[in-house]
Structure 1
């Protein structure tokens, strides 16, 4: 779908979308159109349950006095309470409604908003962003597609004052959405298509954006002593990979500043290894690389909008498979840090991958901070459901900034505690650490975070457990069912608001 921006004018074809505020207060253009159509809008509102709330839509077909095929009224609620995520929801919902109606083009009139928080040009860009997010579909492998369910909308024009400003704002938003789409694509791919080597190849495609990409094979990782990561992948016929992506966008004196670092768990398929998972639902483990997918999409977003900051993204890509060479429960592996790990459960493998990826990142790049993302524990879904990612860390300021960024973009996080009492559970009687706790199923997500903390070497660090957020079983206005792309917007906002250009 293509997006365009123009100064306010009524279209001569296609569909027309107009805003209505709380209690059915018409926007200025809606009032004008109501006069042109001899009260059609007023009559339609009077005979419906439409109340101008966010999520309210009302369609008027073949309106008299206009050449458009339909008018779609959309609610914006109380202006003083309007947020960017509300506007994105409107955009995403509008796309779905118009596609179901078979519309091919729409002009959305965005009149001046009486609010100090949102400029009209930003509102128009936000609606376009929501529409773009909501238009996503993963149909790469479908050969028998019902034409009646195919999207028909090919063009959306946002008509507003200062349309050039809106167009510029949307350019950055579009780059971010492209990063989200890459993450959704990666998470949606089946494991026979996306495996460590092919994942690395997808990352290498980002060099066209100016990202430096380096791929470490198993021989290089062996020389570095990455026994934890390699141990996870040794049961697979697919070789493991560590991918390092660098975006050096800082200029001048800031070019030598320490980079920000994002690290992702990339278990391209997780059978559980010898500690085999139940068959029911195992197909979902194709998205156990969701953390690595987010890091990759974030790097594309930052490079796409030419962020003025130095950032490194590191992803550890493996398959966790059960064969004659697979790691066994009770094995002891030696991590790159030199710490030995007793592997009591081979299905607690993501933390082993991250152990070496985190240590490598802090050791090589000496970053300003590290944020890692991982679909790490089912326990976090029990705790937080699918509304928030679990957040853990050793730095209050970084955690607070991530929490605030999440609220701004509608990607929630919730911080959980860490302490020595939990850390004691990963002490092994025969090695330095063990990969699961002694407390059974209790506090599983916290114990996993305590394990990761042993490999950050006092660098400011936050761990995001996104097991409940990387995939959605429901269809939402801006997040279609499937891979969500969670975390790309959250971390882009973190970078933009607190680190870029400073």
Structure 2
């Protein structure tokens, strides 16, 4: 099995910016709604074109393609870039192509287009067969002399963000007979050690027991594959210290509170938050941002056995706080609580952000394409939402309702794991207990972390959602 799992990370389409097209290379002519053709469109008939974003038509007589970019929104350009790469695949796929940009192309449009092009052709399939041919590179040809440097910078940033998203997809898509806590932690550390300025430490179950990580040990206690904690450290200077914490549940049966069979196979992606954190740390380090960032990913497999934790148990977290377990399928908050307490006590962070596929409630509330933001700080909420908007990830602020705060208290322990009330909100209120006085945001990505449909730059499977927002957020705080 292991030999047929795709290598991590997946190779993406390369993109460059230049002022001149190449001879003998297929050209891609952009067309907007109307339709109106951009440079290179002379002689191409528009009768059958709509200009809709993602519309791709091959014109063999002109050795060219037309690509619809719609009305020119960022979403349209991500859709167009992704559609182009998907179209330039198959047995007759060219190795490269020139995309002839229109005069209105600015840095924002290049970022959106490159994100789409780099991610739209993503493929993760466990097979012994060769992947179908796909275009390997694109040249974006700008008609504006002297604008090449600006667009190149935008393209490089977009490709870095796409690389982070792709790695997060790789980690989440890897099947759980391969991806146990040890695999996830050691793979993250192995990849991180190749990035200058980024270091990694993996802690095993003995260290976790010595340090009192009761939540991680409880969740991982039912599996023959013991838990791990991976800590990634990047020190880019004297700027603020951000700590990103990602849920790393490599498979989730629900434990004794077992999940229904329908959909359980998708629980290989229950560590999507951890994958986003690992990928974001690597992108931050590669970009050399002048900031300090630590990534913590508590890794465990929530399984069923004679040693599994039970509803009614009282678990002591790192730092001493105790939790009354009410549902073993609410395991994510148990491991995050340990990591948050560890970060607050030992790392002196200026900001803590946790990312997790935490509650089905958020899938009901916000659907499958929008992440939830919980924080007591309006400014921090705006920062997260704004960062996401700039990189093509949608977020919505949810309330930390005061009337449910007391519900977190337990009669037998300090806290109740699953307080009554709205599930996503009470889960966030539970986690807030472990943030101390540090500014904190909880990002619930249960909805957008997976997709069954292709849209914009997203393909079916793990989406890598959240990784780009974390990188952009770090860049905001580094300014």
After TM superposition, is the score higher than 0.5?
yes
Partner of 1:483: 462
Q: Is the aligned partner of 1:6 residue 2:57?
A: no
What is the alpha-carbon distance in structure 2 between the residues aligned to residue 310 and residue 483 of structure 1? 28
Report the secondary structure of 1:330's partner residue. coil
Report the secondary structure of 2:89's partner residue. helix
Q: CA deviation at 1:423?
A: 2.0
Q: Is the aligned partner of 1:229 residue 2:227?
A: no
Given candidates 86, 104, 116, the residue that maps to 1:130 is: 116
CA contact (8 A) 1:337 1:455 kept: no
Report the secondary structure of 1:382's partner residue. helix
What is the alpha-carbon distance in structure 1 between the residues aligned to residue 323 and residue 251 of structure 2? 22
What is the alpha-carbon distance in structure 2 between the residues aligned to residue 405 and residue 220 of structure 1? 36
| 1:329-375 superposed Cα distances (whole Å, 9 cap, x missing partner) | 11111111322111111111111101101111111111111110011
Q: CA deviation at 1:94?
A: 0.7
Partner of 2:399: 417
Report the secondary structure of 2:209's partner residue. helix
Q: Is the aligned partner of 1:317 residue 2:299?
A: yes
What is the alpha-carbon distance in structure 1 between the residues aligned to residue 16 and residue 386 of structure 2? 31
Partner of 1:385: 367
Partner of 1:67: none
Partner of 1:76: 69
What is the alpha-carbon distance in structure 2 between the residues aligned to residue 283 and residue 486 of structure 1? 19
Q: Is the aligned partner of 1:326 residue 2:337?
A: no
What is the alpha-carbon distance in structure 1 between the residues aligned to residue 55 and residue 166 of structure 2? 27
1:250-265 alignment runs, 5 A limit: 250=237, 255=238, 257-265=239-247
CA contact (8 A) 1:102 1:153 kept: no
Partner of 1:444: 423
| 1:223-265 superposed Cα distances (whole Å, 9 cap, x missing partner) | 2222122111111111111111111112xxxx2x441111011
Instruction: Pick the structure with more helix per residue.
Output: 1
Partner of 2:8: none
Q: Is the aligned partner of 1:98 residue 2:125?
A: no
Partner of 2:180: 195
Report the secondary structure of 1:152's partner residue. coil
Partner of 1:181: 166
What is the alpha-carbon distance in structure 2 between the residues aligned to residue 197 and residue 77 of structure 1? 46
What is the alpha-carbon distance in structure 2 between the residues aligned to residue 158 and residue 225 of structure 1? 54
1:367-378 alignment runs, 5 A limit: 367-378=349-360
Partner of 2:236: 249
What is the alpha-carbon distance in structure 1 between the residues aligned to residue 28 and residue 232 of structure 2? 42
Q: Is the aligned partner of 1:429 residue 2:411?
A: yes
Partner of 1:212: 199
Given candidates 95, 102, 107, the residue that maps to 1:111 is: 102
What is the alpha-carbon distance in structure 1 between the residues aligned to residue 223 and residue 56 of structure 2? 51
Report the secondary structure of 2:234's partner residue. strand
Aligned residues: 461
CA contact (8 A) 2:115 2:161 kept: no
Partner of 1:25: 36
What is the alpha-carbon distance in structure 2 between the residues aligned to residue 472 and residue 123 of structure 1? 25
Given candidates 282, 295, 310, the residue that maps to 1:300 is: 282
